[in-house]
Amino acid sequence: MRSNELPLISDAEASVLATYFGRRALLGTGCVAAGVLTMPLSAPAQAAPGASGDAEITVDQARTAPIPIVIPVLGGDTGQLVSSVISGDLGNCGLFSPINGALPVGVPDFGTYKSLGARALVSGTATTGSGGLRVEFRLWDVLTGQQIQGTAYTAGAGDARKIAHIIADVIYERLLGEKGYFNSRIAYIARSGPRAHQITRLAIMDQDGANSHYLSGGQWLTLTPRFSPVSEQLAFMSYANNRPRVYVLNLATGRQQLLGDFDGISFAPRFAPDGRTVVMSVTRGGGSDIYTVDLASRAKRQLTSSGAIDTSPCYSPDGSQIVFNSDRGGTPQLYIMSASGGGAKRVSYGNGTYGSPVWSPRGDLIAFTRIANGSFSLGVMAPDGTGERILTQGFTVDTPTFCPNGRVLAFCRQTAAGSGGAGFSSSIGTIDITGFHERSIPAVGMSSDPAWSPLNG
């Protein structure tokens, strides 16, 4: 038996999963931080006194006119790597326009950088030695001549990319007034082989696509990884031993555990905001109910019993509510209920069917996918269902996941396949919550099912 052939589950259970996954590639036939020490750097005596306070540039302004920022090479191969990663992070978010320029020594000649059209400037050094890696970083306001930030980072020699992501987050926050998201990772499903019998592996990468590596061997079909918001754990569904169920993987130890031994199959896991509980769907005949499992005690609690397919549960950031997908009204739609169950209220009323809801970490939006007229759309709405906006469309756009600050969504985009699966592709893209600046993440090979981590420790 091939590892990705249909396992021996009932027709009713298979129907529930097919409804949950829709057109996606079910069964391969479709679709400051740990280890880094920081120390403040005061402004040189010749610099203008004081430092900038709150950001003077809003995200909306930067979206219309990206902030020109000079990011010179910070010296040597390591400095080149650090500068390259910073430039990539800031340029890829669409809110900054990195400029090459000479590295200043001491207090910069701001007139030179003004002539380049720069609004901000990075200076510093990156050196490696017996003590590891040291990066000194300063951020300057070119227009006022003030140092906005000065910090020295010390870490292991292999942490250059990590420090660069941290610096990019600092620049983002100091110039835009909200937390950055670059020092984070994305778990995903790496796909390989013929489309009809794809091998799926649990994988993880930095948010920019670097440092991608497998977390599982590909023996069993694996889908829908989900990060814990507070610990180094992933929940996911695996067909291990030919039975689809939810598992939890400890990324620090590599230990994997079955989460809840239910009579039916379990799928669609999500962690609670405190990381102590996982909510999921469990099949029941031709339908499914939503359950929670306490990670410490393994106690189970049933939240729904509608007789329908209730699935895709996701907690609100404060843990008080759960948004989920249900066909209890005849077609798959989005509902919100108390985290303790009960009082479900429908919130989706647009044309088509809805699925894959996920709550923004800011609490102000719910992202979703919608299927209408044979096409997938990815959009957002307020938690009460108002203000629905479609961000992007395609043959398949699915599994949205918010970055840690709620500004950007990652999602899976798949293309239609021709004869024998020719032309099929599956990749991970990102898009701003306004529908601005859609781009692809350069993951290795085909990929799907992204799950964005919280900021790295």
* Domain residue extents for the chain: 11-33+184-452, 37-176
Q: Crossing angle for the helix pair 160-176 and 76-92, nearest 10 degrees?
A: 40
In this predicted structure, what is the pLDDT of residue 381?
98
Q: Decide yes or no: CATH 2.120.10.30 for domain 11-33+184-452.
A: yes
CB 456 within 8 A of CB 184: yes
Superfamily covering domain 37-176: TolB, N-terminal domain (3.40.50.10070)
**pLDDT tens profile 334-366:** 999 999 998 999 999 999 999 999 999 999 999
User: Which amino acid is residue 33, in one-letter code?
Assistant: A
273 compared with 44, residue with greater pLDDT:
273
CB 365 within 8 A of CB 382: yes
Handedness of CA 239, 29, 326, 233 (dihedral sign): positive
Look at residue 258 and tell me whether its pLDDT is greater than 90: yes
Q: Give how far Cα 336 sits from Cα of 9, 14, 54, Å.
A: 30, 26, 36
CB 120 within 8 A of CB 101: no
- Name the one residue in this structure whose structure tokens are 């950001």: 55
User: Which amino acid is residue 205, in one-letter code?
Assistant: M
Look at residue 6 and tell me whether its pLDDT is greater than 50: no
Look at residue 39 and tell me whether its pLDDT is greater than 90: no
Cα–Cα distance between 136 and 354 in angstroms, integer? 49
Question: Tokens at residue 351, please?
Answer: 């044309």
**pLDDT tens profile 436-447:** 999 999 877 899
Residues 6+ apart with CB under 8 A from 32: 38, 166
CA dihedral 180, 431, 367, 296 (to 10 degrees): -50
**Maximum average pLDDT range among 20-29, 129-138, 394-403:** 394-403
**pLDDT tens profile 74-95:** 989 999 999 999 999 999 999 9
- pLDDT band at 55; cut points 50, 70, 90: low
